[in-house]
Amino acid sequence: MVFDANIPIYLQIMDDFKKQVISGVYQGGEKVESVRVLAVSYGVNPNTVQRSLSELEREGLLYSERTSGRFITKDQDMLKQLKSSYADELIDVCVKQLTELKFSKEEILKQMKERLEK
């Protein structure tokens, strides 16, 4: 993963982890790799990964079981909400940029429909 120097690495890891959950790499209830394994895969210090996972726990996406490790939440409503809010963010960016280019709502919808049909 290539990190953006303008954004804290732990936040970028959190975002990447959320994308993996949304895309189905991780399923609800699935065990997450250890901090050390994740640190090696991201090429960062284990403390950075620990901070990311702790924040994800605070948000409720992960939970810990003593001596067993961390797991993805089994809360399907939360997982659906995560997916929906991520899609909303992406759509908002797209609509904002097209609106700044003076596209009307109708033109944006037309472009989106045409793109989806391709």
Percent of all residues in the chain with a pLDDT value above 70, rounded to a whole number: 100
pLDDT at 22 over 90: yes
**Residues 55 and 84 occupy one common structural domain:** no
**Residues 29 and 86 occupy one common structural domain:** no
- The number of domains in the chain is 2
Which residue type sits at 115? R
- pTM for the full model? 0.84
18 is a domain residue = yes
Which residue type sits at 66? R
**Per-residue model confidence as pLDDT tens digits over 54-80:** 999 999 999 999 889 999 999 999 999
